[in-house]
Every structure is written in structure tokens, then in C-alpha cells.
Amino acid sequence: MKALLLVAHGSRRAASNDEIRALTARIRDTGPEFDHVDCAFLELAEPSIPEGIRAAIRAGARQLVVLPYFLSAGRHVSEDIPGAVNSVRSEHPDIDISLAPYLGASPEIARLLVMQATEAGSRP
Amino acid sequence: MKALLLVAHGSRRAASNDEIRALTARIRDTGPEFDHVDCAFLELAEPSIPEGIRAAIRAGARQLVVLPYFLSAGRHVSEDIPGAVNSVRSEHPDIDISLAPYLGASPEIARLLVMQATEAGSRP
């Protein structure tokens, strides 16, 4: 079973965390690529990254992709998230846990921004 | 002339601001939709949003789209950026300045995340 764990920063503002949960639900509806899709938070919200990984494994995941929902490659992306993932990896050497590039690294972002700006600019 | 101004939060970490400038250059290369593409920062980096808007107008923009490069709809997106845009709007009533939805509001984000996670999960 393949699982995707979307990792966001987490916020004191509940609406921001709910926005992540709503996006997670939309990812679930996107297609059949992943059997299990959930989110986790680096801080300030639940579940934590280790808890999210363990929940996916309990749900049956044998292959798990962790994707940081971040725009820039700061310390959170380069150190904190890999550290949290590695802390669980050693508990489950039989599970294939990979870390995807953070969202901001996507080569598709530029095209998506142009598309979004073009739509906004053509509204009456 | 049509211009796009990408607005990021700005960071104390110079590499994060440079990442935004590199993305801005990639947007420039994406296609002919905008004649002028530049970036501005809400805080901690230059140019500011009003400075960025004024520079685009000086460069000849008659139509300007401001796009917040943010993932969640917090105070920055709902108040601070619109406030900064409005402060310049009154100086240039002849210029069509519109505010695009923030990146996180894009309906394309879910599909993009699945794509990115699928690629990461299929790496050997």
C-alpha cells in the first residue's frame, strides 16, 4: 500500500491548519496514485510528523512519501523535516519511506503562477 | 503593457529571497503572457510592495497583476498585502491593478503535489 503524507508547518491559527486538512482531502480525491493520504505538522498542530508516519504504517502503508508543503528551502525543509522522518525510519526498517522535494522546488510552480495571474488579469 | 508582481513574505535568510528572485526569472521565461515580471516582499527584503508596483508602472505597465506567493490565507494575505496594494492604487487611478488569489488557493495545487510525490516515490 502506498501512502502520501503532506507535511505543513502548522499554525496557531486553526483556520490555516484546517486549510491543510481540506487540501489533504482534495489530494485524496485527485486520483488513484496513493491509497492513503494524510497530513502532519512540523509544530503547533497535530499530528506531528512521527505520529503521521506511524499512523500511515498502522493503516497498512508499505511505501510512504513525505512531501513538505513549504515554499522555501530553509532550516525546516533542510534539517527539521528530514530529522523527524529519520527518527521514525529506524523504527521501521522494512517500510520504504522517501522524502519528496518541497513544493517550492517544483518546476511546475512558475507555469501555475502565470496561469493564476492570467486568470486574475482577465477578470472583468 | 501587462505586468506581473509576485509578492513573497521576505526572509532574514538571503538565500530564501534569492530563491524568489530565481523563481521570478523562471516566470519571465515561461511565456509571453506578461511583458514585465518582477517580485516584491511584504517585509524583511527589498523592494517593498509599493516600490515594486511603482517600478512596474515606471517600466510602462498599464495593467498589473499582484500575486501573493503564500500558502495560507492568514492576515498577510487577507489584510497586509491588499492594504499595501491599495496604498498605491490611489496614486495611480489610471492603472488597472488587480490582486490574484494567493498560490495556496489554486485548484491546481493538489494535482501538482500528487505529481511531485509520485515522482519521488518512483525513484530507485
> Tell me, what's the ipTM?
0.94
Query: Tell me, what amino acid is at A12?
Result: R
Phi and psi at B73, nearest 5°, equal -85, 55
Q: Is A76 a catalytic residue?
A: no
- Closest A-chain CA to B120: A100
Per-residue pLDDT tens for B16-58?
A: 999 999 999 999 999 889 999 999 999 999 999 999 999 999 9
pLDDT band at A124 (very low <50, low <70, confident <90, very high): low
Q: How far apart are CA B105 and CA B86, in angstroms?
A: 21
Mean pLDDT of A25-36: 93
Q: How far apart are CA B85 and CA B41, in angstroms?
A: 12
Best of B96, B113, B115 to substitute, by most chain A Cβ atoms within 10 angstroms, is B113
CA distances from B67 to A90, A110, A124, B46, B82 (A): 42, 12, 17, 16, 11
Per-residue pLDDT tens for B62-81?
A: 999 999 999 998 899 999 99
CA dihedral A44→B16→B80→A48, nearest 10 degrees, is: -10
Per-residue pLDDT tens for B81-97?
A: 999 999 999 999 999 99
Strands of the sheet with A2-8, listed across from one edge: A36-41, A2-8, A63-68, A96-99
pLDDT band at A74 (very low <50, low <70, confident <90, very high): confident
The per-residue pLDDT for B124 is: 61
Q: A63 vs B115: CB contact, 8 Å cut-off?
A: no
For the entire predicted model, the pTM comes to: 0.93
B100 pLDDT higher than 90: yes
Beta strands in A2-99 (DSSP E): 2-8, 36-41, 63-68, 96-99
Among candidates A2, A23, A29 on the partner chain, residue whose Cβ is nearest the Cβ of B121: A2
Q: A103 vs B111: CB contact, 8 Å cut-off?
A: no
Query: Tell me, what amino acid is at A42?
Result: L
Q: A114 vs B27: CB contact, 8 Å cut-off?
A: yes
pLDDT band at A25 (very low <50, low <70, confident <90, very high): very high
Cβ contacts of B111 on chain A, cutoff 8 Å: 30
- Closest A-chain CA to B114: A27
- Closest A-chain CA to B103: A113
The per-residue pLDDT for A122 is: 83
The per-residue pLDDT for B31 is: 81
Mean pLDDT of A48-64: 97
